[in-house]
A and B are shown apart, each in its own frame.
Chain A
């Protein structure tokens, strides 16, 4: 009941009181949870969520842009927009998720955008459940997905040889730019080592679908994947 009222208030405020029909725009959180699977390969949300490839999304509503913690390296543009006062709310998140690059041209978020308005509303309804402000909604259970591939602790513990990683990286740099640009090809610099390793093993085992990456990862040994992860993690 309280939640419904908040939804009405918030939507009414954002949309300039466009009417009760649009008050439903903050949508179906259960459906949003399903939609969040697309986001979960980079973002965590819920208890214990950490900054990974993307920043964690707890308390994203009301958070100033580029402020998820010192351990996360944002693009220059996002840092600037945070400094200029960009705060994530329904309106700004809705625009960002619709087309990330339209709002922040150099964002590292390699996501093409969620074009359907209802999808965005559902997703935001789900995420809002993890924000203490503005809604007084109880903290939800952790939903961050288990890793895509089960890797042994030994595999995850391999310390990559950066010099070898630098040589191997030349093959990646034919497509993935050193600058971290992600126009058409995702940026791969500054990823946490573990996420890089898991992603590459997911390609190697053909869990992730991209054929070029399956081919590239398919012939890399565990040590080579660790070497690449170590090299790219430290690139600015």
Chain B
């Protein structure tokens, strides 16, 4: 009976550790609480549990039972993935890695008592805390828009129901109608994301509404992979996409969700569907923990430790770390450095020099994939780029197809690395 229960509680790593070394299950096990179950949080939880062989008590706090990756959610909008294929459960992390997965919101951090308070009322004690909450939106970033209007003008910048809503609204546009996107100011999650989304919306519209138009309102002079996207748009979607940059008022925009109007530097434009991607800041738990400076949480580039509190590590989009873009790949890369550093602190295991990397793949049209990436190393001031590459304009179709297929391989790889 006992063995049955034990086998039920955890197979694999955790059970093996329990059977070999039952002592470590006592109160003496160091505790790590991870807040946020995305590319940073799920990865750090999994590596801590896996590499400590159950000797660190890992709790993962994530409100959603089913996590939809923001990466590849644009491919869902374009019709290249179904929504289920970008959804992931935490079952393996709980069952195979012995991670205590708690589906709740973290609503407070007491840094003196070293506890995290949950919306459900519990307080989780920690020896080390990892905050990987992703982004929240800056209030008033786009005048006229707030979360109460996100059903009329979705952001779809946290994937899941918002992605489904945006796609449905685009599909419901009248023939020849107009889709608008309000792009965010720097810095924001996934630098090529808005422009990949424009590509995917354009692809969807060529299928269902070929005379429709796209209005891209952008507060930035330049954007990621600009030459590649503009080349692709001219090739695949000629005449469909109009971009209004800051020189024509793209930085002076307000929205009227009830009237479905976008006001650009005083000029009113009627639209049929509108994607508002507001300015962004660290997930609010960072602010509640008192570890932010401005909108983001500054970290030590050598190990992802908060510059405010040495017991707290911060990962991914929420951080101010230097040159790495806010991306799932970056968060996953940072998580491995943090897991190694935390294990070194708590268990005395080897700590090797931090290496970071990032690659962002974007899809412009069917089998027309591009990528940008860089390698990074820490300095005293920041995480600094040491080398980089980007796809070139004019590449042949075979290379673009290979790049797209590579992105599919990466998706399978990173989600396995996150969720087991």
Contacts and interface: CB of A to CB of B under 8 A. Distances in A.
Contacts of A219: 355, 375, 377, 386-387
Contact of A183 (B350, B374, B408, B414): B408
B167 interface: no
Contact of A218 (B375, B414, B417): B375
B388 interface: yes
A212 B375 CA distance: 9
A212 B414 contact: no
B72 to A, nearest CB: 13
Nearest to B373: A212
Contacts of A211: 371, 373, 389
A39 interface: no
Interface string B387-420: 1110000000000000001111110111011000
B413 A173 contact: yes
B343 to A, nearest CB: 10
Contacts of B388: 215
B69 interface: no
B195 interface: no
B199 interface: no
A184 B412 contact: yes
Interface stretch (A85-93, A96-104, A164-172): A164-172
A177 B375 contact: no
Nearest to B408: A184
A21 B29 CA distance: 76
A177 B416 CA distance: 8
B163 to A, nearest CB: 23
A164 B414 CA distance: 21
Interface string A181-201: 111110000000000000000
B412 A215 contact: no
A184 B410 contact: yes
A94 interface: no
Q: Taking each of A181, A214, A215, which has the highest tally of chain B beta carbons within 10 Å of its own beta carbon? A: A215
B375 A216 contact: yes
A214 B389 contact: yes
Nearest to A176: B413
Contacts of A176: 413
Interface of A: 163-164, 167-168, 170-171, 173-179, 181-185, 211-212, 214-216, 218-219
22 contacts: A163-B350, A164-B350, A167-B352, A168-B352, A170-B47, A173-B417, A174-B414, A175-B409, A175-B413, A176-B413, A179-B416, A181-B412, A183-B405, A183-B408, A184-B406, A184-B408, A184-B412, A211-B373, A212-B371, A212-B373, A215-B388, A219-B386
Interface of B: 47, 329, 332-333, 336, 340, 350, 352, 355, 357, 359, 371, 373-375, 377, 386-389, 405-410, 412-414, 416-417
Q: List the 3 closest pairs (A to B, CB-CB), nearest first.
A: A184-B409, A185-B409, A211-B389
